[in-house]
Amino acid sequence: MIQHESIAAHGGQLVNRIATTDQRQEFLDKADHLPIVQVDDRTVSDLEMIAIGGFSPLTGFMEEADYQSVVNTMRLANGLPWSIPITLSVVEETAAPLKEGSLVRLDDAKGRFVGVLQLTQKYHYDKKQEALHVYRTNEEKHPGVNVVYNQGAVNLAGSIWLLQRDPHSKFPLYQIDPAESRSLFREKGWKTVVGFQTRNPIHRAHEYIIKCALEIVDGLFLHPLVGATKEDDIPADVRMRCYEIMLEHYFPKDRVILAINPAAMRYAGPREAIFHALVRKNYGCTHFIVGRDHAGVGDYYGTYDAQYIFDEFKPEELGILPLKFEHAFYCTRTEGMATTKTSPSLPEERIHLSGTKVREMLRRGELPPPQFSRPQVAKELARTMKVFTENQYEI
């Protein structure tokens, strides 16, 4: 069993690239003289995750050696496991005047000076190769591939500093960085902590596998992703209300910490499962839940491909233990939540609903059955669905 005291950040040391007061002032003094690159919300999320240590051991955007190694082998150039390229891509016209070895000012979409890049490299890359290796498809309708195909052709690499970081506009109470989560785990005396990743509202199947995991560890780190997602994913504020409802009524409060994950969603399936696990390792988790079709989209990945990929690494290389769960359902024969591992039921004795089916029910004003969703959560989703339908949005 991995003990909490031995869980170092990935690569050995938790990265901190948040500019000190003196550094920030120095950069602000130079602001008007630095070349500016405007970055999108996804890049701002990556910038933040690098700075707070969520992407340790990365100190910035990947140089070509690391990028090529990650795309082709799921490892950094030094051999350390890493499955998703973290890059800052710009168009040729933006890259051309930038000089390697210089500082670059990074502004967000609102024009705020949010970060600094110490530019060490500019390099071209093969978008199709990245798509096929990372996402296992080159179809542009895949949301992750679509992002790659529509971003610039040149990657800017180098270490970063984060200058501008305000309390989260919607969830300031849940903005817990890796250094703080590790401190909280120590204060609570948790030696083993399981992390749970989701971009969807929590339902009974989620609740079941989380509680199964909670039986064998000291605490739960409920860590929903609130960065950029697909337009038809349920909004983060709705999901957070659902988590709050569940924690209020159905979980032991002293054994759960709810925090936001500011990262953007990639929809890279198996590779993203590895990525999500390593991020939670950086937050101090010793275990990580991997369910069916983790980080999947459409039918691009097999149901349990995100579990099989962990077998491609030695456990000590990853340093965090995956807890692999089958698809859970409500079993009418045993009158409880179960999986095919624990239930003798026939398919017709299992209650599980697709997201599409649930949305259709909510649009008709029907609540999902309590065997699928806790009533309080179903009512919250129904209320939200009505608001979004009236505004011609889909959740």
Active-site positions read 199-200
Residues 212 and 21: beta-carbon distance below 8 Å: no
Closest CA to 234 of 376, 359, 60, 65: 359
CA angle 76, 269, 276 (to 5 degrees): 55
d(CA 216, CA 395): 34
Closest CA to 229 of 276, 271, 266: 266
Tokens of 216: 């064998």
Tokens of 343: 């239930």
d(CA 250, CA 103): 50
3-state helix, strand, coil in the chain (%, to 5): 40, 15, 45
Tokens of 136: 């296992």
Tally Cβ neighbours within 10 Å of residue 199.
Answer: 18
CB-count exposure of residue 369 (10 Å: 0-12, 13-18, 19+): middle
**SS3 (DSSP) at 103:** strand
Residue listed under structure tokens 């003094």: 29
Q: Is the peptide bond before 57 cis (omega within 30 degrees of 0)?
A: yes
Closest CA to 233 of 394, 102, 392, 111: 394
d(CA 108, CA 228): 14
